[in-house]
Structure formats: C-alpha cells, structure tokens
Structure 1
C-alpha cells in the first residue's frame, strides 16, 4: 500500500534566510496575482484562458524583462508551482467545486513549494535541510521523516517559518481493530458515539475571543504600517495561531483514538458551508434571528466539523477501516426502538422522547444510533444492491446500552 504523508517542522533560519524566504513568498504572490489579472482580462475580452504551459512562457519573459528583473532572485520551480496552483483553482471553479480565485494579500498564507526532490537534501542526523537559494536550514527535529522525500512546502504562521516535507513510502495493509460505531456531531457535545462515549467541545476560539478582541482593538488604534502597528498585528497573529494549533491538536487526538479503536465509522453527510451561511439576508428581505444564527455559525466553524471528517477519512484508510457517510435526514427524529419518525420526538435540544412508545434518552446519543443503523443499511446496499429497511417494532444495534432499554420495553432484536 502506497502512503503519501507530510511531516511538518519548525524552521530555525538565520536573519538573512528569513529575508530571502519573505522575498520568495512575495515573488510567488506577485506571479499569482499577475497571472490571475491576465486571465481575468482575457476572459473579459472573450479570449480563451491560458493554460499552464502558456503561463510558464510568460513567466520566462517576466523574469528576463526590464520591469520585474527581481523575479530572477527567486527559484523558478516555486514560481511555476504558483502557476499550477492557479490552474488548479480555475479547474475547481469551472467544475463548481470552489469559488472564483481571489488575489493574494501580503502576510496571508505566504508560502512557496519546491517540487523537485533532486534539489532537496535532508540531513536528519544534524537536523537540517538544504533548499535551493536558501542553503542549509536548521529545523526542530521532533520526529523522524519516513519514506522518500517528494516535495517541500515552506510557509509562515504566527511569525514562525515551517517546512512541510511530503514523503512517499510503501506500508503493509493494516487490519482494523474494533467494530462499527456511529457518530453524531453537535454543539453541546462535539461528538457523541453510539457506544455511549462523547467528546466535549474545545471551543478554542471562544476561549480566546476576549483576548483577541482587545488585541484587534489595539491594532485599530495604531498608525497603519508604523512599528507599533506591526507589533500589535504580530500579537493578533500569534493569538490566531494559538487558536488554530489548539483546535488542530484536539481534532488529531480525537480522530486518532476513534480510528484506532473502530473498523467502521458512520457519520452524517453534513454540508458545513451551507449550515454556516449568514442569515442576515438583504435590505429588501432581511433575515430572522440573525444574532442567534450568527452565534451558531461561529460555534460550528470553531469546532471544525469538516476537518474532523477529513482526518477520520484518511486515518481510517491508513488503519484499514472504512468511513461510511449517511444522509442526515431524520436521524434525530427517529425512535431507535419503534421506528416512529416525528418532529415532536425531540421537543428540546438535549432530550429525545418518543411520542409513540415513550422511549427517552439523550438526543445526540439517539442520533448516533440511527446513524449507525443507516450505515449498516448502506453497507448492505453496496454488497447486495438491495436495501431492506427494518420493520416496525424491531431493532438492530450493537450497543448494549440500548439493548437494555429495548429489552425493558419488550422489543425484539434483529
């Protein structure tokens, strides 16, 4: 089994190397914006967009021209990779997978990529890496790099420079551990598992919201581009970096534990982008409950539901498991005992009470049970091509906790 994996390390560059990396990132940003402006101009004039090969020819002219001779100071491969990123962004836009490419701004996601492994040298014993036109850079060697180096991406975050080393290696197919589990995502509980366990939300942004607001207010009171303004802006960037690192650490720990202990994980196919859209509306048709919806959107984005699903997907594949995505319709309104579906079953956000059979439990846990059952049904559909829904008055689940409730009301198990 072939595995592509990236190993990220903090760089410890000298002052001259930091200045060079800022120049390289600025050159890549300039090339991206210039190429994007050219593509937009050709589109407005009714001409076809240039492909990657055509943009590379223009890049050669820009590097050798009199207007931008400083582009020669940057390595050519990262500049070409910037044009590849623009080509991919255009492809995703016309395939309706993303929005139209936007111009890049200074100090926002500054990065550049070295795609040629022949130009990269990695010395793990001495904790250093060689990159073209930068020389040897020291890095904080927190773990070993496994596999053959394919490419290196250099980026800056919170005033610190990082190198992400992508490798490729062959690994044995793992045998998954554990059984199947359903997961229901929520606000009060970040993730509730069908075996009864749940993860409390971290709410990293909410914890540091007051400190971030004060730091942003301090920036607004400074003269723009002054020394004090730059210091205040650096403090804001450090807070944002701390928030993101804490959220990322929480998600990695949760997804690693789940993927190691379960062979099949069933989750809802939640459209996070649609769920977190603004409810403000327009001047002619203003939205309702805008303040409450704004707080809900902020909480959803703070918890990182999409990143949780993305990490579960590749970690389960590494462990030999499977991620099953099921439609979210009526997962929180269906009684797991009698199968009755009604909006009245969930009168409150926390409690589930079936109006048909009287079964009561935590609403998130009931949702995880229904998600697990839907996952089993989808697996049966993929194997046999026919979905057999459970009959009324029957129950199918791997949860002993629900089995006890089911036996108490006398409902047979399939």
Structure 2
C-alpha cells in the first residue's frame, strides 16, 4: 500500500476501571488536586496584569504552588502541566468565540478528571480476554475492562500507539479514556446508495428504504420504580431541610443513587446509539462492504424545539405540561449526538452526511409532493388528502423519503454564523449512471 493512501487517525476509547476503595481515594485526591490547581490558576489570572499572563509566568506560579501547598503533591507533575495547558487553551477557545470564559470549578458540580499526557507511562498489558492492566502515576497498577484491541506491546509503533489517557469519574465510578493514534488506509469516496433519515420520538430512526431502528426503555420496570421511590424520598428529605442548612448525608446518598440510575440509562442509550449508527454506516451483511454512500438528515434546531412553553406573565403559554413532556422525550433521544456519530462514522468509511431543510418534511406527501391539512390522522399513518393522489403509508418513512428527495433536487442546508442557510447544490451523478 502506497504512502499517499495512508493517513493518521486519532480517536478515543473509554474503558471502565476496577479500582479498590484505597485506589479510588487516591484517584479522588488527584482529581481534587487538579481542580484546585485550576482554581489557583484562575485566581492568578485575575490578579496578574495583562502583560504578565504568559505561559512561562503561569508555569512558575504552579511550581511555587506545588512547593507551598502539601496536598498538591499527590498530583503528578505531568498532570499539573496538563492542567496549565488546558486552562490556556480554554482562554483561546473563548477568544475565538467557540466557548465561554473559564471559571472556578466547584467541588460538587465539577466532573472529577485527571490527565495522563504521556502514553509511555501507562505500560498497558492485556492479561485476560476481558481485562487489561494499566499503570496510573501515583496510583499503581489497575485493571480495566478490555473491550477493544489497543495498539500495545508488539502491535505498538511510532504510527500506531497510545499517546495518553484521561481519568474521568461519573456516577458509575472511575473510567479511563485512552487517546489512540493509528495509521490507517485513507477511505476512498464511493458512490453508494443514498438514504434519508427521519428522527422522531415514537420511532427514533426511520429510513427512506422502509427500515426502522427502535429501542426499549433505558431502564427496566423495576429500575424505573426504584428511581421513582428515590426521587420521592429525596423530595421528602429536602422538605425538612431549613434554608441555608447543609445537605445531610442521607440526602446526598439518595442523590448518589439517583445519579447512578440515570448514568446507567445514559450508558445504555449511548451504546444503542453507537450500534445503530454503525449499522447505518456499514452493512451488517458480509457481502456488502459499504451500505450507504450518502446519509441525508434534517438540519434541526434542537435548542428551539426544546424551548419551554411557559410564556410570560402577560401572555402565559398553553399546554405547558404536555410541552415539557415532549421536551424531555426529545432531549432523551439525543438527536444531535446521533448526527455527530453518523458524521464521523460515514466519513471514516468513505461516505458523507448531508443536511437538508427541516420544514414540512413530515407534512408533505412523498408521492405527489402536496402539503394538505389533516394528512397526519395519527402519529403513525400519513394519508394524503389530495384527490388525485390518496396515497397512504407510514408517516416516518414518508418523512424520510421527503428528506432524501430534498437532497436529490439539490436543496442543502449549509450552517453559517449559527443559522442554517439553504442553497441548491449541484448533484453529481453516480459513476454507474453516467
């Protein structure tokens, strides 16, 4: 294989760590030290004049802080340098208009994390079909769940290696996110079939070729009942707390249990999204190497879709509770995350993802193109009211075919300055049709 067809690809892989209580406390101490280092840097930044806010002065400041404050010594020096670089990068992102200005990190509202910038410090070894061992600086050798082949040992070289990692803690415990660099064959653009996708609440994903991807509830009936009991218990205990009084340990424990169940639901939803988007990007059948060459989705403004319907005091909203339930359902499906996954997965396999304008895709008949009132008799069925058509079928598949038709006529939504700009793009015919 020639050098021109190879490219370096960087991606991440997250695995669950099996930490003992002692090692978990060590990781917690490092994470709190990293958070304190961030807050000290932020305080230093606010006190220093503009001309002294340089990387060299900040490096000298954190070195002095590590020498003066004892508990900061639990944080490895490389991790402290990573906090410094991340803080300066946060300001660059703010100046570029990509993010808000960095702020203090509170103890209970911040995600605990520690960066390991050097991949050579990890010393990863696979010891079992399901488990591997990794070395965490100032913590020790720790087992992690082996769910993906990593470039370690004889499979590692300058082009295929692990460049670093990051420890992250959530409601389910500590995880490690590896940063992997791999030299892979550059995907060749292919003229595969085109497919339109309609994303909804009742039917999460419906394709224009009449295929549907659905899922069950993220929590079982028993887990939903337990979550309800915990939320009611937390509400009762919160009633007995006086204004300004600290949260009791019992209430914190209840909050932790609620967070654990919600994190479990999120993990299952994320796994389902990965499996669904991978199935769309490639074919499950062995005979077809690439299933879809072009994936077409709607350019949805999800922020406006989940906006509250409460209204104002002068003009109160209507059906506020129903709209709130719909907003929760839309947020639970995470359409934006699905589009993000489809974007990089189709690109990695030589395909492409295109966005088209969203208005009237669910109300337009895919057979005749007319928009007639009353065509959606119920949530699942579309019946065209045009006397010359009278077509009926699945409403979600009808919307997906409309999405695909907008791409085929060249109506593409191009994001610009925070809004979608519609333009007609010249469509290239497949090589077989020329």
The partner residue of 2:211 within 193, 197, 203 is 197
Which residue does the alignment assign to 2:390? 358
Q: How much has 1:386 moved relative to structure 2?
A: 6.2
1:166/1:177 CA distance change after superposition, 3 Å: farther
Q: How much has 1:93 moved relative to structure 2?
A: 4.2
State the TM-score, normalizing by the size of structure 1.
0.80
Partners of 2:44 and 2:308 in 1: how far apart? 32
Relative to structure 2, which stretch is displaced further, 202-211 or 74-83? 202-211
1:205/1:86 CA distance change after superposition, 3 Å: farther
The partner residue of 2:167 within 144, 154, 160 is 154
Q: Secondary structure at the match of 1:278?
A: coil
Give the 5 Å matches for 1:52-201: 54-65=57-68, 68-101=69-102, 103-107=104-108, 108-125=110-127, 127-146=132-151, 147-174=160-187, 179-201=193-215
Partners of 2:425 and 2:191 in 1: how far apart? 27
1:64/1:3 CA distance change after superposition, 3 Å: same
Q: Secondary structure at the match of 1:355?
A: coil
C-alpha contact (below 8 Å) 1:203/1:302 kept by paired residues: no
The partner residue of 2:279 within 249, 254, 257 is 257
Cα shift readout 1:237-274 (whole Å, capped 9, x = no counterpart) = 32122111111111111111111132221111112223
Matched, 1:13 2:35: no
Q: How much has 1:84 moved relative to structure 2?
A: 3.6
Cα shift readout 1:202-224 (whole Å, capped 9, x = no counterpart) = 44279655432322343452886
Partners of 2:298 and 2:65 in 1: how far apart? 49
1:371/1:149 CA distance change after superposition, 3 Å: same
Q: Secondary structure at the match of 2:228?
A: helix
More helix by share: 1
Partners of 2:40 and 2:229 in 1: how far apart? 36
Partners of 2:263 and 2:383 in 1: how far apart? 42
Give the 5 Å matches for 1:185-334: 185-204=199-218, 209-219=224-234, 221=237, 228-261=250-283, 262-334=292-364
C-alpha contact (below 8 Å) 2:172/2:264 kept by paired residues: no
Partners of 1:330 and 1:52 in 2: how far apart? 52
C-alpha contact (below 8 Å) 2:12/2:177 kept by paired residues: yes
C-alpha contact (below 8 Å) 1:203/1:299 kept by paired residues: no
C-alpha contact (below 8 Å) 1:201/1:303 kept by paired residues: no
1:381/1:35 CA distance change after superposition, 3 Å: closer
For structure 1, the residue ranges without an aligned partner over 5 or more in a row are: 390-414
1:112/1:286 CA distance change after superposition, 3 Å: farther
For structure 2, the residue ranges without an aligned partner over 5 or more in a row are: 1-6, 152-159, 284-291, 415-422, 428-434
C-alpha contact (below 8 Å) 1:187/1:201 kept by paired residues: no
State the aligned residue count: 383
Matched, 1:2 2:34: no
